[in-house]
Structure 1
Amino acid sequence: MRKSVMLAWAAAAVVATAGDMQVGEFRQHVELAYLGTSGNSDSNTLSALYSNEYQATAMDDIHFRADAYYGDKDGVKTDERYRAHIIGNHHFDPKWYAYAEAGALRNTFEGYNQQYNGGLGVGYMIFDDATQTLKVRGGYQYRYANLTTGDDEDFHYAKLGVNHDYRFNEKTELVSELNALEDLEETNDYEIVFRTALKTALMANFSLKVGFEVKYDNTPVEGKDTTDTTTTVGIVYDF
C-alpha cells in the first residue's frame, strides 16, 4: 500500500512540475532580440537568453537560465548585464516541494562587478490545471557582492517568490514571476524583482515574446538609482 501511494505521488509530481515531461527528458530554450538605429541617432541593443530544464527523476527537476543584455548609443556603452541562475526542486507530493538555488550577476551599471547568490527553501503548488499554474515559495538566501566602489559586502535574506503561468490557448501564454528579499539584519534593506512575458507561437518551435522586468532596490549601491526596468521583444526557439 505504501509503495503504491509513493508511486502515485511520483506520477503526480511529474505532472505538477513539468507538464508532459518524462523522466530523463531535457528541453532547451533560446531567445534573441536586437534593436538598432542609424542616422541622427546611432544605437544598438542586443539581448540573448538560454535556458533548459531536465526531469532527473519522477520527484526531481532542474532548471538553468543565463541571459545577457548589452546596449550602446553613439559609441558609448549604455547597458551591460550578465546573469546565470540554477534551481533544483525535490517534490514530496503533488503540492509540497523543496528547492536549492544558486546564481551569479555582473552589472556595473547597477554597481556590481560580481554578485553571487545561494539559497534554499520550500514551495507549495496552489493549483495547476490546463489554464493556469500558481505556486509560492519561501526560504533563505545568502548574497556576496564585489562592488564597483571597491567594497565587498555580504547579506542574509529571507526570500519570498511567486510564479504564475496563464495559458490563453495552445499558442499564447503569460508567464509572471515575483521575488522579494528582506535583509534579516537591516529591516530597511529589501529588494523586489517582477518579471512578466507574453509568448505567442508563430510556427513550429518558433515564438514571439514580449517581456518586461522591473527591479526595486531600497538600498542600492551608493550613487545608483533604486529602480531599473528592462523591456525586450524577441524571437524564441524551443527544442
Structure 2
Amino acid sequence: MKKVAAMLLCGAALFAADLKVGELKQHVELGYLGTSGNSDSKTLSALYGNDYQWTDSTDVHFKTDAYYGEKDGDKTDERYRAYGIVNHHYSPRGYSYVEAGALRNTFQGYNQQYNGGLGMGYVIIDDKIQLFKVRGGYQYRWANFTDGTDDDFHFLKLGANYNYQFSETGKLESELNFLKNLESTDDFETVFRIAVKVLMAENLSLRVGFEVKYDNTPPLNDDGSEKDKTDTTTTVGIVYDF
C-alpha cells in the first residue's frame, strides 16, 4: 500500500512539474469519442502529443489527434488534426508565440484547412496550483471546402488558458479561442475546450474532455445550405505519459 501511494505521489509530482532544458515529455491517449452537430456518432479516438523545453525561455508543443467511424458500411464521422506552437518568454510573464495547424473534417465542410499565426501573450497567474494566461495575434487560414471551392482568410485571434491542479492527482485544463475575420463583420468563430485529468497509476491517467465549436458562417453543403453552426465533441480516454 505504501509503495502504491509513493508511486502516485511521484506521478503527481511529474504531473505538475516544469520541464528541464532539453527534456521531452510525450503522451498518448486512446479512448471513446462522441460528437453532435454536423456529425452524430460514437467511435474510438487516438491522440499523440509532446512538450519540449528547447531553452530556458523557449518551449515547443505539438499535438495530433484522429478519429474515424463507420456504421453499416457508411462513414459516420472523420476528423484529423495536427497543431504545433512555439512560445518564447521575454520575462516571467510576457511571451510571444508562433503556431501552425492542419485539419481535415469533411463533416464540418473541410477537405483541408491550414492555419498559421503569431502573436503575444501574458501570464497572469503561474504557481504550483494555477496557470492563467491570455494571448492575441494574427492568424492566416487557407481552406479547401467539400463543395469544391477554396478560399483564404485573415483573422484576429484572441485566446486564454486556465489550468487548475485541484489535487495531488487531479488537474483541470481549459482553453478558449476567438477568431474574427478581419475582412468580414459576420465571420467569427469560438472554440472552448475543458478537460479533467486524474492520475490513476504511475504515468497512467484518465482524461474526460468536452469541446464545443461555434462558427457563425460555416461552410456550405453541396445543395448550398449552411452546415450546423455548433459542433460538440466529448472524449473519455486513458492517457499514457512517458
Q: Common fold, TM-score beyond 0.5? A: yes
- Whose relative contact order is higher, 1 or 2, with alpha carbons under 8 Å and at least 6 apart? 2
CA distance in 2, matches of 1:34, 1:115: 25
1:66 Cα deviation (Å)? 0.2
TM-aligned CA distance change 1:65 to 1:76, over 3 Å: same
Amino acid at match of 2:180: E
TM-aligned CA distance change 1:152 to 1:221, over 3 Å: same
Q: Which residue of 1 aligns with 2:159?
A: 161
1:74 Cα deviation (Å)? 2.8
Judge conservation of contact 2:33–2:234 (CA < 8 Å) in 1.
Answer: no
- Residue 188 (structure 1) aligned to one of 181, 186, 205: 186
1:201 Cα deviation (Å)? 0.7
TM-aligned CA distance change 1:212 to 1:205, over 3 Å: same
* Cα displacement string for residues 121-143 of structure 1 (whole angstroms, at most 9, x for unaligned residues): 00000011121110000000000
Q: Secondary structure at the match of 1:188?
A: coil
Q: Which residue of 2 aligns with 1:234?
A: 237
1:46 Cα deviation (Å)? 1.2
Judge conservation of contact 2:33–2:45 (CA < 8 Å) in 1.
Answer: no
Q: Which residue of 1 aligns with 2:67?
A: 69
Judge conservation of contact 2:53–2:60 (CA < 8 Å) in 1.
Answer: yes
Q: Secondary structure at the match of 1:109?
A: helix
Judge conservation of contact 2:33–2:236 (CA < 8 Å) in 1.
Answer: no
CA distance in 2, matches of 1:129, 1:185: 39
The CA RMSD over aligned residues, in Å, is 1.5
For structure 2, list consecutive stretches of 5 or more residues without a partner in the other structure: 1-15, 35-40, 222-226
1:94 Cα deviation (Å)? 0.2
Instruction: Confirm or deny that 1:146 pairs with 2:149.
Output: no
CA distance in 1, matches of 2:50, 2:196: 19
CA distance in 2, matches of 1:190, 1:34: 30
* Cα displacement string for residues 185-238 of structure 1 (whole angstroms, at most 9, x for unaligned residues): 101100100011011111010011101000000000013110100001110000
Q: Which residue of 1 aligns with 2:10?
A: none
Amino acid at match of 1:152: D
Judge conservation of contact 1:44–1:72 (CA < 8 Å) in 2.
Answer: no
CA distance in 1, matches of 2:109, 2:58: 36
CA distance in 2, matches of 1:143, 1:210: 30
What TM-score does the superposition give when structure 1 sets the normalisation length?
Answer: 0.87
Amino acid at match of 2:160: V
CA distance in 2, matches of 1:180, 1:213: 14
Instruction: Confirm or deny that 1:100 pairs with 2:98.
Output: yes
Amino acid at match of 2:101: G
Amino acid at match of 1:57: T
Q: Which residue of 1 aligns with 2:177?
A: 179
Q: Which residue of 1 aligns with 2:8?
A: none
